[in-house]
Amino acid sequence: MATAAHSGKNYLNEKSGLWSWLTSLDHKRIGIMYMISVMIFFAIGGTFAMLLRWELFGAGPTIMNAHQYNQTMTFHGAIMVFMVIIPGIPAFLGNFILPLHLGAKDVAFPRVNLMSWYCLMVGSAIAFWSLFYHGSDTGWTFYTPYSVTTQNGTIWLVFGAFIIGFSSILTGLNFIVTTHKLRAPGMSFWRMPLFVWALYSTALLQVLATPVLAITLLLLAMERLLGIGVFDPNLGGDPVLFQHFFWFYSHPAVYIMILPAMGVVSEIITAFSHKTIFGYKAIALSSVGIAAVSFFVWGHHMFVSGQSEIAGIIFSFITMLVGVPTAIKCFNWVATLYRGSVRFDSPLLFALGFLFLFTIGGVTGIILATVGIDVHFHDTYFVVAHFHYVMVGGTLMAIMGGIYYWFPKMFGKLVNEFWARLSFVFIFIGFNVTFFPQFVLGAMGMPRRYFDYLPEYEPLNRISSFGAWTIGVGFLIGLGVIIHGLLRGKPAGPNPWGAKTLEWTTASPPPHENFLVQPVVTAGPYEYR
């Protein structure tokens, strides 16, 4: 810690002992607690992904039966969505970076912040109990009527997701108030880093969409306990209403997952091109634009649910609209790279990987938004490949890039650049080997969610499984890089990347109150050249 603050004290060594962490109100410590929990959840969810690909390695039962496959798929989906990708960037990187980016000492409500971590822990514990003890098998979407009739512990998984939802709401609420009320003197909205814009847009979604999930899950629980008949056609209800409610949350939730990733990529690309970001306002406003449009596209999950044709066509058009702000971002990132002094360090590699994979994921999203084509592709592996390109190729690439980018700030140490780049190579190649064949399989008509398939799908599935294990190796290398960096990393200094945002003006790791002297902002966030 050669570069610690004057007193030698920073947020890591100011207090010691497990209890001081579990009761800490410091946003940086809470961010690290999120980091550890999300990494553990990711390891569990990833293990299930490996098992799924093992089962699909050959036609017929390979290592599990159909029922176990359904459970494994539920485990993988529920853990990855609710416990990894949704809290991943906002609650972990966002918690750590947002106050630093704003020049604030902490988030607006530190105790609420800690509470939201405990909500995630309690909700996850309940969800895990439901998964492992009862063997929930509904998939992460809890579609009725199956979720009402299956005997496998749906109610606890629903309850767990309900509590995790509170974690998300509280984080979002905290970020909104922090962004409005705790900006450093001189930091106008147009001087905020783009990561803050992305987190702010995400927070709006968390606050506005998650309560609808809460009431949906509450009604689902009531349906199971009391048979209230809101979703049960035998009692006068309508199962499609569940889908409407569910996707009214879960489509914006997709942007809860991707918007902060876009923010991370904006930061990395401008820092590693060493050039003022191109189109700052366009990128900032497109985050808000995506957030706004995301509330009006949920029907594209339901093209074959029996909703009216006119509704399908309207949803189709609005869905394609999402491509506009997204493309604005992509073009601006590329324009930033153009004639920049580009440094190909590991964070930038992941950002470029994001750009490549996310573009494929986004363009196939436009394909799926076309009603007529979607009727063919619906519930095939084409959809699986599409959303993995966005969620894994987008969000997880950004998380990895963000970890490597901010690791020196978090722990005051540098990671081993060679191994960090190697983890990128494995993840990037493995990812394409896994999911590109799935586009082909989907186009050939292979349906998703089945534990078995016709023999002609076998070769491509085999390739896909090999790819999945390559990704697994890549993430294990990444874990090794992080652990090695913690134990043996060289001192980083306050600003190893020569970046311009406020977090790099303070010591690494930062002192308890972030800045020894309150920063005063006099210019935009990316004053390179």
Partner 1 sequence: MSTVSSSQHNNGHHHAHHFESAEAEYHASKFGTWTFLVTEILMFGGLFVGYILYHERYPQMFHAGSTFLDWRLGALNTVVLLFSSLTMALSIYYAQMNDKRKVLINLYITLACGFVFMIVKAFEYTSKFSHGLFPGKYFNPHEPHAIQLHQQFPDLAQYFSFYFTMTGLHGSHVLVGMGLIGWLIYRAHKGEFHSGYYTPVECVGLFWHLVDLIWIYLFPLLYLVG
Choose which of 196, 205, 212, 258 interacts with partner 1 (CB under 8 A): 212
Closer residue to partner 1 (CB): 176 or 392: 176
Q: Are 313 and 375 in contact (CB under 8 A)?
A: no
Member of 141, 174, 464, 465 binding partner 1 (CB under 8 A): 174
- State which of residues 58, 110, 139, 145 lies at the interface with partner 1 (CB under 8 A): 110
Distance, CA of 410 to CA of 93 (rounded, Å): 10
Q: Does 218 bind partner 1 (CB under 8 A)?
A: yes
Binding of residue 384 to partner 1 (CB under 8 A):
no
Question: Binding of partner 1 at residue 216 (CB under 8 A)?
Answer: yes
Which DSSP string do the residues of 370-381 spell out, in sequence order? SHHHHHHHTTBH
Going by C-alpha positions, the residue among 138, 195, 191, 193 that lies closest to residue 161 is: 138
Q: Binding to partner 1 by residue 220, rule CB under 8 A? A: no
Of 247, 408, 265, residue with least CA distance to 315: 247
138 within 8 A of 147, measured Cβ to Cβ: yes
Q: Which of 228, 425, 429, 440 is in the footprint of partner 1 by CB under 8 A?
A: 228
36 binds partner 1 (CB under 8 A): no
Q: Rounded to whole angstroms, how far apart are CA atoms 410 and 36?
A: 13
From 75-83, 132-140, 168-176, 376-384, span contacting partner 1 (CB under 8 A): 168-176
181 touches partner 1 by CB under 8 A:
yes
Q: How far is the CB of 235 from partner 1 (least distance, A)?
A: 6
In the complex, minimum distance from the CB of residue 182 to partner 1, in angstroms, rounded to a whole number: 7
Distance, CA of 528 to CA of 499 (rounded, Å): 8
Contact between 463 and partner 1 (CB under 8 A)? no
Residue span binding partner 1 (CB under 8 A) among the ranges 70-78, 137-145, 236-244, 454-462: 236-244
Q: Under the criterion CB under 8 A, does residue 398 sit at the interface with partner 1?
A: no
- Applying CB under 8 A, which of residues 50, 115, 121, 214 lies at the interface with partner 1? 214
61-76 burial: b if 16+ Cβ within 10 Å, else e:
eeebeeebbbbbbbbb
Report the C-alpha gap between 211 and 2 in whole angstroms.
46
Where do runs of H (alpha helix) occur along 391-507?
397-411, 417-444, 458-488
Query: Rounded distance, CA 94 to CA 255, Å?
Result: 15
Site stretch for partner 1 (CB under 8 A), options 139-147, 172-180, 264-272, 401-409: 172-180
Interacting stretch for partner 1, rule CB under 8 A, among 102-110, 310-318, 408-416, 464-472?
102-110
What is the largest distance, in Å, between two alpha-carbon atoms of the chain?
71
Residue among 10, 136, 210, 434 that touches partner 1 (CB under 8 A): 210
Interatomic CA distance for residues 405 and 268, integer angstroms = 7
Tell me the C-alpha to C-alpha distance, in Å, between residue 51 and each of 58, 64, 181, 245, 453.
13, 9, 47, 31, 16
- For partner 1, how many residues bind (rule: CB under 8 A)? 44
In the complex, what is the shortest distance from the CB of residue 310 to partner 1, in angstroms, rounded to a whole number?
18
State the residues that interact with partner 1 by CB under 8 A.
99, 104-110, 112, 169, 173-174, 176-177, 180-182, 185, 207-212, 214-216, 218-219, 222-223, 226-230, 235-238, 241, 245, 513, 518
